[in-house]
């Protein structure tokens, strides 16, 4: 994992000095599934995705939204820099002031960019050196998650969702799934691509199948990308990422 961290953080969209830096996450018009790859104090959206303005004139980010998964649906918080509307920087879908979302470690969320294509620049500390964990008890609804470290690559090979099965009986994550957002060319959300963990080499050599058992490639994430994880195991699963040295 440390080697993966070094490799991923060396990419052109991540800049780091020791373990402090920033990540540029592409944000085209419409929907993306994002997560905060760094730590910035209380991780309030007002700090993580700032929206500075004069309080009177709308900003280019006003009207865009952060949509947090509740387990049954999405809580929508719209950027609103006008102080006549709200003092928190956010309103709900009908204009009522709401608290700023907290974008904590490992949390995934939808970002709906109501403007032109740009980037979200995440600034803060890399969560390490040390161990980062996210516990996810068994449940039917998925978890909206994202890498706790600024990593890119395969969910197993780089991000730490390991599914070993040396005896070829059943891996610990077999039957669980990764679900990534699908969008139309115009940026509309169009459902999710489902990839099931499958450790049996008679089924697939990639470690993943689709919903009807066909082999599919290992899901690959970019830095700052969010996704759904469905824990179909009979118990809690703890996702662990370790950074043992600074990039």
CA dihedral 109, 124, 102, 114 (to 10 degrees): -50
- Give, for 180, the enclosing helix (H) or strand (E): strand 177-183
Instruction: Find all residues with CB under 8 Å of 53, minimum gap 6, and list them.
Output: 59, 62, 81, 82
Residue 86 contacts residue 42 (beta carbons within 8 Å): no
3-class SS at 15? Answer: strand
Q: Which two tokens stand for residue 199?
A: 């450790």
Query: Cα–Cα distances in Å, from 155 out to 35, 45, 145?
Result: 15, 26, 12
Banded model confidence at residue 5, pLDDT cuts 50, 70, 90: very low
Q: Tell me the per-residue pLDDT of 65-115, one tens digit each, with 9 for 90 and over.
A: 999 999 999 999 999 999 999 999 999 999 999 999 999 999 999 999 999
Residue 97 contacts residue 85 (beta carbons within 8 Å): yes
Which one is predicted more confidently, 48 or 165? Answer: 48
Q: Round to whole Å and give the CA distance between 115 and 201.
A: 45
Residue 223 contacts residue 11 (beta carbons within 8 Å): yes
Query: Cα–Cα distances in Å, from 100 out to 26, 49, 74, 111, 224?
Result: 22, 10, 15, 14, 19
Q: Tell me the per-residue pLDDT of 116-145, one tens digit each, with 9 for 90 and over.
A: 999 999 999 998 888 999 999 999 999 999
The per-residue pLDDT for 17 is 45
Taking alpha carbons only, the member of 65, 102, 69 closest to residue 80 is 65
Banded model confidence at residue 220, pLDDT cuts 50, 70, 90: very high
Taking alpha carbons only, the member of 179, 170, 180, 181 closest to residue 233 is 170
């Amino acid at each position: 994992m440390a080697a993966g961290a070094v490799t991923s953080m060396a990419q052109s969209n991540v800049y780091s000095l020791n373990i402090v830096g920033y990540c540029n996450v592409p944000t085209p018009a419409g929907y993306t599934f994002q997560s905060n790859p760094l730590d910035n104090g209380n991780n309030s959206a007002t700090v993580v995705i700032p929206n500075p303005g004069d309080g009177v004139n709308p900003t280019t980010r006003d009207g865009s939204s952060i949509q947090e998964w509740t387990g049954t649906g999405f809580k929508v918080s719209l950027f609103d820099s006008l102080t006549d509307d709200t003092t928190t920087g956010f309103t709900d879908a009908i204009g009522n002031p709401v608290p700023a979302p907290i974008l904590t470690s490992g949390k995934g969320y939808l970002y709906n960019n109501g403007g032109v294509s740009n980037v979200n620049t995440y600034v803060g500390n890399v969560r390490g050196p040390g161990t980062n964990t996210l516990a996810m008890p068994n449940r039917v609804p998925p978890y909206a998650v994202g890498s706790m470290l600024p990593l890119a690559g395969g969910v197993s090979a780089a991000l730490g969702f390991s599914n070993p099965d040396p005896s070829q009986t059943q891996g610990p994550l077999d039957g669980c799934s990764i679900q990534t957002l699908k969008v139309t060319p115009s940026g509309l959300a169009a459902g999710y691509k489902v990839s099931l963990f499958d450790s049996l080499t008679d089924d697939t050599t990639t470690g993943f199948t689709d919903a009807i058992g066909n082999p599919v490639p290992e899901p690959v994430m970019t830095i700052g990308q969010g996704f759904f994880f469905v824990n179909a195991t009979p118990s809690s699963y703890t996702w662990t990422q370790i950074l043992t040295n600074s990039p």
